[in-house]
Amino acid sequence: MISMELKTIINPIKEDLKIFDRYFKSAMRSNISYVDMIARYLVKQKGKRIRPILVLLSAKMCGEINESTYRGAALVEILHTATLIHDDVVDDADTRRGLASINAIWKNKIAVLMGDYLLAKGLLLSLDNRDHEFLKIISNSVRKMSEAEILQIAKSRQLDIDEKTYIKIISGKTASLLSTCTEIGAVSVNVDEQSRVLLRDFGEALGLAFQIRDDLLDYIGKKSITGKPIGKDLIEKKLTLPLIHSIVKAPRKESIAILRIIKKERKKEYNTVLKFVEEYGGINYAEKKAYDYAEMAKSKIQQFPESESKKALIDFIDFVVTRKS
């Protein structure tokens, strides 16, 4: 569901999003009825459409949205959907966007194969239309996402992640796909190399702000708003920025005790971890970092001419660092 804030932000591309929806639905189709049934179910799981919004706004800020832009937006949304399906299998998740997940309904084997099918569909969409530059950008993003996911799993087992490693992980897991969106938007309207780099860097900084805010919501959000239980990252033994900072700042003895709670999965004591993070400044530190990356993102598009699309992108940055879900 798109929030009221997002509805205002997407105003410059409201009609373009309708056209994108048609491209996306068409690209998801299969001649195999069983596969097509699952694909149609996925289309119903409509999220905030953040990634296609970024592709379209980036393109419109630099030029005129065209068929290449719609294909680029469909490509990143298909890729994102594929990664979510695979994530749900890895996390053994039962729901996605308020509906039962693919693995919950059709089991893991079908879910993994459906994720693979979508990856292939996305690649063929680019190949069939000779969008070779899109393929280079997206392939690099998939590589980064996979490496970052593996690194996070390894570090979760060891519980020894520091801030530098955390930034590396979220850069690969989240920021790489958002920078892919903004770069594809730029490429679709044939911008110069300098503008393309600026938009790619804009997406990277925006993605870092987005993920830090997301990790922060695990400590300060409400389940009724975020849709996930508070402390989900702790359950999965994911050390994110609020906790990483607090562990560094707290006396060693206290930090060791907190890590022991997480390692031994003492769920009844997770409230102790939440209080620990607040006491040692983890919440405030993560909030400041998210705002720092948001300001960095704004600086990357400062030189572009003023337009409704540019204003929408700046409003989008503010939305990212203040969102409640």
- In this prediction, residue 2 carries a pLDDT of 56
Contact status, residue 297 vs residue 323, Cβ threshold 8 Å: no
The mean per-residue pLDDT over the stretch 139-161 comes to 89
Contact status, residue 144 vs residue 168, Cβ threshold 8 Å: no
Here the contacts of 129-134 (C-beta below 8 Å, separation 24 or greater) are: 129/68, 129/71, 131/68, 131/71, 131/72, 131/75, 133/187, 134/71, 134/72, 134/75, 134/184, 134/187
- In this prediction, residue 226 carries a pLDDT of 38
Tokens read off for 199: 């938009």
Tokens 């033994």, residue located: 237
- Judged against a pLDDT cut of 70, whether residue 227 lies above it is answered with no
CA dihedral defined by 323, 321, 44, 141, rounded to 10 degrees?
Answer: -160
The pTM for the full model equals: 0.91
Type of residue numbered 222: K
- Judged against a pLDDT cut of 70, whether residue 34 lies above it is answered with yes
CATH of the domain at 130: 1.10.600.10
- In this prediction, residue 315 carries a pLDDT of 95
Q: What is the domain count for the chain?
A: 1
- In this prediction, residue 324 carries a pLDDT of 82
Q: Domain range spanning residue 288? A: 4-322
pLDDT one-digit tens code per residue, 273-298 = 999 999 999 999 999 999 999 999 99
Give the range among 86-95, 202-211, 250-259 with minimum mean pLDDT.
86-95
The mean per-residue pLDDT over the stretch 204-217 comes to 96
**What percent of the chain stands above pLDDT 90?**
62
pLDDT one-digit tens code per residue, 81-136 = 888 888 888 777 777 777 788 888 888 899 889 889 998 998 898 999 898 999 99
Tokens read off for 71: 């294909």
Please report which confidence band the pLDDT of residue 155 belongs to, taking 50, 70 and 90 as the band edges: confident
pLDDT one-digit tens code per residue, 168-177 = 999 999 999 9
- In this prediction, residue 3 carries a pLDDT of 61
